[in-house]
Amino acid sequence: MAASDITTSSRPDAAGAPERELTDGFHLVIDALKLNGIDTIYGVPGIPITDLGRLAQAEGMRVISFRHEQNAGNAAAIAGFLTKKPGICLTVSAPGFLNGLTALANATTNCFPMILISGSSEREIVDLQQGDYEEMDQLAIAKPLCKAAFRVLHAADIGIGVARAIRAAVSGRPGGVYLDLPAKLFAQVMDAEAGARSLVEVIDPAPAQIPAPAAVRRALDLLKGAKRPLIILGKGAAYAQADEAIRALVERSGIPYVPMSMAKGLLPDTHPQSAGAARSLVLKEADVVLLLGARLNWLLSHGKGKSWGEPGSTRFIQVDIEPREMDSNVEIAAPLVGDIGSCVEALLDGMGSGWAAPPSAWLEAIAARKEANLSKMAGKLRKNAAPMDFHGALGALRDVMAERPETILVNEGANTLDLARGIIDMHRPRKRLDVGTWGVMGIGMGFAVAAAIETGHPVLAVEGDSAFGFSGMEVETICRYQLPVCVVVFNNNGIYRGTDVNPSGGSDVATTVFVAGSRYDRMMEAFGGVGVNVTTPDELGRAVRAALDSGRPTLINAEIDPAAGTESGNIGSLNPQSSVQRKKPAA
C-alpha cells in the first residue's frame, strides 16, 4: 500500500482475534495539530512530506503550497503574529529545511510563534555519514537559530513532540521552534486507540505572568515624577491583543506616545497623543520613557547616542515578559516583568482616577513640532508628477489606507519602507506588517499570503523593486489561491536608485542597477491576475482602489523616478564607506 493510500485501517491479529483499528505517523501528526486548533499549514511539498500535505488536506486542513520554503516560513511566522497560535511551515529535508531556516531565525528574533516541521533522513545513516538522500543533521543546525528544537523517532511520541513544540513557541517570549520528523516515522503503524491516547491537548500554552506589585509601584512613581514622559509602543504590544487596555493606559495617563512600525494602529496615528510626527524631539527630550513591548535595539539607537539626550538624562521603564531583556543596552530604572496585558492592567489599577496629565509645556512643544513637520510634508505628498517620487506615490497610498482602515499593509524595501513608515497612517491594530527587527528583505509575498488567508481582509503589499525580487514568484501562489492581494512595486530600476554607473567604465552595469523599464505587472498577468502600469500618483490611487474593490490578485508597476532614492534609506550610516583610494594598475 502506498503512503498516500494509507488511512486509519484495521486488520486481524495472528490469533484470528477481532480486527483492531490502526493508525500511522502521518495521521498522528495531523491529529495532533488539529487537536490543538491548528488548521492551516504553509509549505512546499516533496520527499518525504508530500503525502503528509495530501492527507492533511484530505482531513480538512488548509494546506497552502508555495514556490520557495523561505516564503512559506515567512507566511507561517506572520500567521503566528496575527493569531497568537504557532504558524506551521512544512518543508522537505536538507535544502528545503535550509531554505526555511531564514524564516525560522527571523521569527525567533521578532518573537513570532512558528513551528518549522521538516522531514529528515534516518538517524543511523546520518550519524555514520553514509550519504543518504539529502543527508543532514538538521536538529543540530536548527538549535542555535530557534527557541527550541525537538526530534520525534517513534509514532507514540508524536503527540508529546507536537505539544512541546506548541508550548515552546507561544509561552513566555514567543519564537520559532524546529520539529524534526525522520521519514521512517510517518509510515510507523500503531493501534489507533493507543495512538489517540498518546495525543496531547496543550492546556494554557501561554499562561499569564503577573508583574510584582513592588515593580508596578516603582514604575508608577517614576511616571508621576516625570516632566517630559513618553510611551513607546512596540510590536510586542500589538501581538498581545490587549488593545483596549493599552488605549486606556495611554489616554488616562495623557502621555504622548510613539509607535514602532508594527505597533502603528494600536491607537490611530491621527490620535492627538501620537508623537510620531515629532519623533526626533520626543526621543531627545523625554526624561522618562515607558517601553511597552518595545526593545532598545538598533531601531531605537540602543537608547543612547545622538537620538537621545545626554547620557543618564533619560530613565526607562520597560515592560517585557523576558527578564533578560532588561539592561540590555542601558540601565532600566523600573523593570516590569510580565505579559503585556497583565502589566498594563496592573498599571491602570495603580493609577486610580486622579492621575495628573503631563506638564502643558511638554505637550505644547510636541504639538508645535508635529504641526511644523506635517505642514512641511503636506506639499510633498500632494505632488502629482511623472515620473513619481516616493513622497507623491506614498501620499496617494496614504489616502487609500485612510479610506479603507481594515486593509492590511505589507511593506518592505529601502526608501519604500523607510518613508512609508512615516507617511502612511494606520488606524487599526495589526494592520501594518513589515521587516521587523532584522530589517530582512523578502518577507513581502509570504506575509501577504498569510495575512489574506488568516484574516480574510484585503492586503496591500507595497514593495521596493529590489525587495520584491526576493519573493516575487509567489505572485503565482497569490493567483493560484485567488487571494485579495494588491501588490504595488515601486520601480526605480535599481537598489536605492537606478542611476548608478560602473566606476570602472566597463560594460557591466553598476551592482545596484536593474533592467530599465521592467514591467513587473506582466508577471501577474502571466498567471491570470491583473497587471497595471502607472506613472503618476493619481493613476496609482485609482488603480489600487480598483484592485481592492475587485478582490482580484493585482500587481501595479509604479514607475518611480530612477534618481529619487537615497543610499540605504534612513540607515545609510550602517553601510561602511571605504576610505582607501587605490590606484588602477598601469595599462
Domain ranges of the chain: 3-198, 213-367, 382-499+507-568
Judge residue 141's burial from the number of C-beta atoms within 10 Å of its C-beta, 0-12 exposed, 13-18 middle, 19 or more buried.
middle
User: Given this model, what pLDDT does residue 6 score?
Assistant: 43
Between strands 334-337 and 315-320, the pairing is: parallel
Domains 213-367 and 382-499+507-568 share a fold: yes
DSSP annotation of 103: H
**What is the topology classification, in CATH, of domain 213-367?**
Rossmann fold (3.40.50)
Could you write out the DSSP letters of every residue in 503-528? TT--SSPPTTB--TT--THHHHHHTT
Among candidate residues 485, 469, 480, 487, the one with its CA nearest the CA of residue 532? 487
Among candidate residues 385, 381, 376, the one with its CA nearest the CA of residue 401? 381
User: Given this model, what pLDDT does residue 20 score?
Assistant: 87
Sign of CA dihedral 75, 81, 82, 88: positive
For cell 504557532, the residue is: 86
Per-position pLDDT tens, the chain of length 587 = 344 444 455 555 555 666 889 999 999 999 999 999 999 999 999 999 999 999 999 999 999 999 999 999 999 999 999 999 999 999 999 999 999 999 999 999 999 999 999 999 888 888 888 888 888 999 999 999 999 999 999 999 999 999 999 999 999 999 999 999 999 999 999 999 999 999 999 999 999 999 999 999 999 999 999 999 999 999 999 999 999 999 999 999 999 999 999 999 999 999 999 999 999 999 999 999 999 999 999 999 999 999 999 999 999 999 999 999 999 999 999 999 999 999 999 999 999 888 999 999 999 999 999 999 999 999 999 999 999 999 999 999 999 999 999 999 999 999 999 999 999 999 999 999 999 999 999 999 999 999 999 999 999 999 999 999 999 999 999 999 999 999 999 999 999 999 999 999 999 999 999 999 999 999 999 999 999 999 999 999 999 999 999 999 999 999 999 999 888 656 766 777 777 777 666 55
pTM over 0.75: yes
- CA dist 22 and 3 (Å) reads 14
387 cis-preceded (ω within 30 degrees of 0): yes
Among candidate residues 159, 73, 139, the one with its CA nearest the CA of residue 108? 73
Give the count of beta carbons closer than 10 Å to the beta carbon of residue 253. Answer: 22
User: Given this model, what pLDDT does residue 587 score?
Assistant: 54
What stretches of 86-197 adopt beta strand conformation (E)? 87-91, 114-120, 148-151, 176-182, 189-191
Angle between helices 25-35 and 50-58 (to 10 degrees): 50
User: Given this model, what pLDDT does residue 132 score?
Assistant: 85
User: Given this model, what pLDDT does residue 140 score?
Assistant: 96
User: Given this model, what pLDDT does residue 353 score?
Assistant: 83
How far, rounded to the nearest angstrom, does the alpha carbon of residue 339 sit from its chain's CA centroid? 20
Q: Which CATH superfamily is domain 382-499+507-568 in?
A: Thiamin diphosphate (ThDP)-binding fold, Pyr/PP domains (3.40.50.970)
DSSP annotation of 274: B
- CA dist 549 and 410 (Å) reads 18
Judge residue 500's burial from the number of C-beta atoms within 10 Å of its C-beta, 0-12 exposed, 13-18 middle, 19 or more buried.
middle
Q: Which CATH superfamily is domain 3-198 in?
A: Thiamin diphosphate (ThDP)-binding fold, Pyr/PP domains (3.40.50.970)
- CA dist 461 and 74 (Å) reads 14
Between strands 9-11 and 334-337, the pairing is: unpaired
Please give the helix or strand (H or E) that residue 272 lies within, else none.
none
